[in-house]
Structure 1
């Protein structure tokens, strides 16, 4: 397939990232700073992105890079979009739910993505047309498939922080949606979306996310048979927000989030 080599290369990047992140996880001397947006960043975040950038610059010099910690380098129709540690607050507290996100965009479409969560001993990946997979490595993998739940009252919904929904003026609509669902849990961050791809959760959503938070997730959810849009139906990672579902529930979820009146 067209992006098999890119996907294999993304796994190499993820292997390097895992070495960086695991070596600093629960380290007594982990250094934590506060960024301008008041979110935390660790020395591991920065070192991991720097390592990925070095390898990309050497192996894919014509491609551009978009990273959470160091912004954009280069101008190309091919962009590697990287979040070195998604779930930094978990990471710095010793909670094992965090991952490195690596996505490749060609023009405006994400064509490949890898999500590597080494403390969970799990990795998820997909390239366009090849399906979504999970396991410890390319050679030890099982296919990801979304659920076939068809109604909200049978659905499991995962989210991150209630305060974000309140900040965006959507807390009443969000709470009404949670009441319509069978089960709600705040698994949070990348994990919510990978659980959708796994078929363990039916809906995952957040009202504000950056491109680097979402790019790697999109092909995995979609190749598993699901849908991934913004709150207003914008395709893929382009809406500044995320709604991922098994597909069958998607229109109902978007309709429920429309502000009343």
Structure 2
């Protein structure tokens, strides 16, 4: 993993810090929750995690910029560069504040417009997923218990497990009829939501995960894990990368079919 071994090790250390903070606040009776301008919730755990990770990165990677969901962009302290860490301190905050264990810290490292390292840590599930570009994807409780992961070999929608975000967002895009058509044609459909559906695709437990509205911090860490596991990750227009504001992640074999079904001009 030449060139990114140290960065991936740092991502694991950042995740250890995040896990300690977030788990201490998970199901806490005094958890403080506010609404952001977009009416999504933010807890004191979200802000505490991001502050801690930014503090570590400012010491260990002063030449790298940082983008986080709660505090935006911080430019590199040691001058401009092409590297940027992208952080979602708690992906699945609505689950977190209700005591549902499906939430995670997402950590990614980008070089220019390419995601080179991605890590997802879900401490309440006791599981972590990670990948570095060109070196495969892995999952486990920690690096000492890592297992390579791989997408499924399913080739037909009628045999596929289909995962999606909540249906009202799909209705807003005008794609709800197409979504319902896919669900009817799938072997199974479930709305696992947030990071989790993508990790299930990477592990081969689910074959398709789709979401219509996402930010860079929602996407960056997920992309290399899915693609290094052999999957395909694009936006709804079929463009690869984390910048399209939407996501279609599949085992690759079903990708063209799903994109075609979700196309607005179909």
TM-score between the two structures when normalised by the length of structure 1 = 0.99
The alpha-carbon deviation at position 260 of structure 1 amounts to 4.5
Secondary structure of the structure 2 residue equivalent to 1:47: helix
Whole-Å separation in 2 of the counterparts to 1:111 and 1:240: 19
Whether 2:158 is the aligned partner of 1:160: answer: no
1:60-75 matched pairs, under 5 angstroms: 60-74=61-75, 75=80
Deviating more after overlay: 70-79 vs 111-120: 70-79
Secondary structure of the structure 1 residue equivalent to 2:141: strand
The alpha-carbon deviation at position 246 of structure 1 amounts to 0.2
The alpha-carbon deviation at position 139 of structure 1 amounts to 1.0
1:113-132 matched pairs, under 5 angstroms: 113-132=118-137
The alpha-carbon deviation at position 76 of structure 1 amounts to 2.9
Which residue of the partner structure matches residue 217 of structure 2?
212
C-alpha RMSD of the superposition: 0.8
Whole-Å separation in 2 of the counterparts to 1:10 and 1:58: 14
Which residue of the partner structure matches residue 139 of structure 2?
134
Give ranges in structure 2 of 5+ residues lacking alignment.
none
Which residue of the partner structure matches residue 101 of structure 1?
106
Secondary structure of the structure 2 residue equivalent to 1:95: coil
The alpha-carbon deviation at position 168 of structure 1 amounts to 1.4
TM-score between the two structures when normalised by the length of structure 2 = 0.97
Whole-Å separation in 1 of the counterparts to 2:256 and 2:103: 29
Secondary structure of the structure 1 residue equivalent to 2:253: coil
| Number of aligned residue pairs | 261
1:1-261 matched pairs, under 5 angstroms: 1-74=2-75, 75-260=80-265
| Aligned structure 1 segments of 4 or more residues deviating by more than 4 angstroms | none
